[in-house]
Structure 1
């Protein structure tokens, strides 16, 4: 049997931005209850009073599940080094039997210059390579026989070191990428390891991306 509490809970769970606001106590429960009352009433098949919805929302805000945002904020306050690199080019090639040997040759060129930025990821059908643009000629020579599906220039990267506990707290990446989306940041690539992730953005958005991530430490 559906209850007011269960219907309200399902409504909030489908809207993560409301869940975050509710967990942080920054939303007017009375105003929210008026907004969601028509849908709650329709699901239950009867008229529901605003006061009943407000009580359901209060119970949710006290629930540990809806206070998970506070755990996320605690982790983000301990974000480590944030590194920015510019003048990058992003290449995407279709996977093939010859692409990996060519990538090994590229690594030899990368190892000759410690100032070169290089990162790569491999999907099921594609391989992605991001390098400092001073290596563009090298990449295009080595991979001239590979099928290039995309090339993006004038990019910058923001690399973030996360505290070790990030792997045990759900929602860390959602919370970060939500903030970037709110700022209108377009992510060309997201590359991550256990305690570190790198985003690739347009040069003209890198300052905003850096500030958005840095500000997470002061939430």
Structure 2
């Protein structure tokens, strides 16, 4: 049997930004109840008082604040080293039968230079390479026969070390990327390992992005 509480919860869960705002207590529940009332009444098939919706929202927001925010904030307070690298170039190539051979040659050439930044990821159809711009000519020489679909310059990377428990707490990445989105940060790439992730942003936005991530430790 449907109840006001269950229908309100399902409505909120379908709207991630609204769910987060409720958990932070920054929404006027009375105003929100008036907005959602028609959909709640339609789902229940009967008239519903605004006060009943407000009470359901209040219980839900209190519960969400504990369940969603408490565990996430605990993890974010233990964020480790945050490393920033600048002057990077982002290349995207179509996957081919020869592209991994060229990538191996690139690694061989830059392996002895510890100052060179390199990271790569491969999808179904594309291969992405991010390198220090000092080796741009090397990349373009080795991958000359490959199909390049994109090249972005003047980028910076921010690499974040996460505590090991990040893999068992849902919502960690959503929480981080939500705040970056609120600051208008454009993410060129997101590359991750088990306990570490790297974002690639425009040089002009790196300071704001770094501060946004660093401030998560003081939530």
Which TM-score band applies after superposition, normalised by the shorter structure?
over 0.9
Query: Do 1:20 and 1:66's aligned partners in 2 also have CA atoms closer than 8 Å?
Result: no
Q: Give the alignment of 1:1-219 within 5 angstroms.
A: 1-63=1-63, 67-219=67-219
Checking the alignment, whether the CA contact within 8 Å between 1:24 and 1:67 is kept in structure 2 is no
After superposition, the Cα gap between the structure-2 partners of 1:65 and 1:25, relative to the gap in structure 1 and judged at 3 Å, is closer
Cα RMSD, aligned residues only: 1.6
Aligned length: 219
Q: CA deviation at 1:15?
A: 1.3
TM-score of the superposed pair, with normalisation by structure 2: 0.94
Gaps of 5+ in 2: none
SS in 1 for 2:93: strand
Tell me if structure 2 keeps the 8 A contact 1:22–1:66: no
Shift of 1:164: 0.6
Report how far residue 167 of structure 1 moved. 0.3
1:65 to partner: Cα distance: 8.6
Bigger shift: residues 190-199 or 20-29: 20-29
1-structure distance, mates of 2:93, 2:64:
45
Aligned equivalents of 1:17, 1:125: Cα separation in 2: 31
Q: TM-score, normalised by structure 1?
A: 0.94
Q: Could you list the structure 1 runs, at least 4 aligned residues long, displaced by more than 4 angstroms after superposition.
A: none
Q: CA deviation at 1:51?
A: 1.1
The alpha-carbon deviation at position 217 of structure 1 amounts to 0.9
Q: Which moved more, 1:191-200 or 1:97-106?
A: 97-106
